[in-house]
């Protein structure tokens, strides 16, 4: 492992360069990284890199899920809860059954249990892929919220299906009512463990005299404790991390402002590196998968992979449109978030079914031999190859054509049609309430302290800037130029041996915060 450390450093640098390229050509970086990994794998001198599934499940998955949950809007998740939970659980189960039937019917040597195993692996769309791709295209908020919420939850249901199918293949027995009962137990147990661990960390944040560094360490270890605790109790570690992350994200105000800023910066960088490594490793894994295709020609294996990919794409589109029809019908009897979803939104959601890291990790975690008999696990290499084809085709085909589909459908933002106007209104309300609060609670202090009077003037100026957008833009431009010049002066003064460098750095940090605040205004 140590002798390959320079290789991994080189891969990280290559990831950064590829993401720069992706930003330049306006293509979601998971697509570029998978293709980049593929190209690297064809270099003759490139050592074969084999992915340890435990490494992905334990090291990569908890922080990636936690970071996605932390940035998910609980309000939007609850608003679209019926759609999200039907996609994340019902559609995953239906997709697994359809894949099981197709695989057992058309792929030689596949039993129904092996088909369910494959279905559990390839059924969940990937949270990271959907988020990264939608970042580069303008889609309605509801579409983004549903896609991200679904991809957070469906990993749990697919891995549960995978777990029970694996038991069925290894033992040759499958009792439906026992599996159904265990299914709900695993779900509820995962939610309970995640919330319990999150409550403990919430108490630690609230009661202990922590500083920003300690709070950051707590946020880094929290997802691992949630995941490991849940998995050790044989319940869903994925749901534990997701639910725990949502719980703590909604209560992050218990942390200090310094802790929130530092945690946000660290988590953003950590998620960037982990996501990049995962998608790069997917591409690098190709030679290992192809070399293990024993007894199946490459052409046949590609054909089977394309068959399953087609089933997944068509099945998802039919499912999302069917959900739209059902929602319209159900709106006659119950209150729904959108009584007339139409076909454009569901069609777009149907086309966002890119697969990713969870599918590959699940396929890699299939044991090489059956424990009870010691016999080789049937069709393991073919399942791995089909999974790789599904990931590659859905990322390239759906990821690259999604912007074109958005333009073709011409979807309009119905929930927040004018975000700029809404943002100004929030600023106006904040300014009005701030002035009123100061005048109501600190009237005497305002008269005796000029600084407080200036604070009211500051909020009045904020309102004026919002009403005079041209002047506001010019003000920001001039202020940013002044901040840049202040940095130049500070660096010049720092050259003087008599000036304390620590104080200079404090002023530079203040300027950084001021510039960031100005850019967000």
> What is the mean pLDDT of the segment spanning 406-410?
82
Q: So what's the pLDDT on residue 174?
A: 57
pLDDT tens per residue across span 237-293 = 888 998 999 899 888 888 887 888 888 889 888 888 888 888 888 788 777 777 777
Q: So what's the pLDDT on residue 106?
A: 92
pLDDT tens per residue across span 330-343 = 667 676 666 676 77
- At residue 313 the predicted structure's pLDDT band, cuts being 50, 70 and 90, is very high
* Top-tier CATH class for 2-409: mainly alpha
User: Does the pTM of the predicted model rise above 0.95?
Assistant: no
Q: 416-439 burial by CB neighbour count: b if 16+ within 10 A, else e?
A: eeeeeeeebeebeeebeeebeebe
pLDDT tens per residue across span 67-107 = 888 887 777 788 888 888 888 788 888 888 899 899 989 99
C-alpha 119/C-alpha 113 separation (Å) is 10
Three-state SS at 157: helix
Residues of the chain with pLDDT > 70: what percent? Answer: 86
Largest distance between two CA atoms of the chain? 88
pLDDT tens per residue across span 164-192 = 788 777 776 655 555 566 777 888 899 99
Q: So what's the pLDDT on residue 470?
A: 45
Please choose, from the candidates 389, 242, 187, 236, the residue with its C-alpha nearest in 3D space to the C-alpha of residue 303. Answer: 389
How far are the Cα atoms of 91, 204, 218 from residue 255, in angstroms, in the given order?
38, 10, 11
pLDDT tens per residue across span 30-43 = 888 888 888 888 88
User: Six-digit token pair at 175?
Assistant: 């009792």
Q: 297-331 burial by CB neighbour count: b if 16+ within 10 A, else e?
A: eeeebeebbebbbebbbebbbebbbebbeebeeee
Domain ranges of the chain: 2-409, 430-467, 469-521
Q: So what's the pLDDT on residue 72?
A: 79
C-alpha 279/C-alpha 84 separation (Å) is 25
């Amino acid at each position: 492992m140590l002798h390959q450390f320079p290789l991994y450093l080189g891969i990280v640098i290559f990831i950064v360069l590829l993401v720069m390229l992706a930003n330049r050509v306006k293509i979601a970086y998971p697509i570029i990284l998978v293709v980049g990994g593929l190209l690297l794998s064809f270099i003759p001198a490139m050592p074969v890199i084999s992915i340890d599934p435990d490494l992905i499940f334990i090291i990569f998955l908890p922080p990636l899920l936690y970071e996605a949950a932390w940035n998910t809007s609980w309000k939007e998740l609850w608003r679209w809860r019926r759609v999200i939970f039907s996609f994340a659980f019902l559609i995953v189960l239906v997709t697994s059954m359809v894949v099981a039937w197709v695989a057992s019917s058309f792929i030689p040597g596949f039993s129904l249990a092996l088909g369910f195993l494959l279905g559990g692996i390839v059924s969940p769309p990937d949270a990271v892929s959907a988020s990264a791709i939608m970042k580069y295209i303008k889609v309605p908020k509801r579409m983004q919220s549903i896609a991200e919420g679904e991809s957070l939850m469906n990993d749990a249901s697919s891995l549960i299906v995978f777990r029970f199918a694996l038991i069925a293949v290894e033992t040759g027995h499958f009792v439906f009512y026992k599996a159904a009962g265990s299914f709900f137990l695993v779900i509820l147990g995962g939610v309970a463990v995640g919330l319990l661990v999150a409550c403990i960390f919430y108490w630690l944040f609230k009661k202990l005299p922590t500083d920003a560094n300690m709070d950051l360490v707590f946020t880094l270890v929290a997802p691992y404790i949630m995941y490991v605790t849940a998995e050790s109790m044989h319940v869903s570690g994925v749901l534990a991390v997701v639910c725990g992350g949502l719980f703590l994200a909604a209560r992050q105000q218990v942390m200090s402002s310094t802790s929130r800023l530092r945690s946000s910066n660290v988590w953003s960088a950590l998620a960037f590196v982990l996501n990049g490594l995962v998608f790069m490793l997917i591409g690098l894994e190709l030679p290992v998968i192809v070399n293990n295709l024993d007894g199946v020609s490459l052409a046949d294996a590609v054909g089977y992979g394309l068959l399953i990919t087609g089933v997944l794409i068509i099945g998802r589109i039919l499912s999302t449109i069917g959900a739209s029809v059902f929602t319209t019908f159900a709106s006659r009897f119950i209150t729904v978030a959108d009584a007339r979803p139409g076909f454009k939104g569901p069609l777009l959601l149907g086309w966002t079914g890119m697969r990713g890291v969870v599918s590959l990790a699940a396929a890699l975690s299939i044991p090489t031999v059956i424990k009870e008999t010691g016999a080789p696990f049937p069709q393991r290499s073919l399942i791995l190859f089909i999974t790789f084809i599904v990931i590659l085709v859905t990322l390239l085909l759906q990821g690259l054509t999604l912007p074109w589909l958005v333009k073709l459908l011409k979807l309009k933002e119905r929930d927040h049609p004018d975000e700029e106007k809404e943002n100004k209104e929030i600023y106006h309300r904040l300014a009005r309430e701030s002035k009123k609060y100061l005048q109501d609670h600190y009237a005497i202090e305002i008269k005796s302290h000029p600084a407080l009077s200036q604070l009211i003037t500051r909020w009045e100026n904020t309102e004026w800037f919002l009403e005079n957008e041209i002047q506001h833009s010019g003000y920001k431009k001039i202020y940013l130029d002044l901040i840049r010049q202040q940095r130049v002066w500070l660096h010049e003064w720092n050259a003087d041996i008599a000036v304390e460098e620590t104080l200079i750095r404090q002023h530079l940090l203040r300027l950084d915060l001021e510039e960031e605040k100005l850019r967000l205004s």
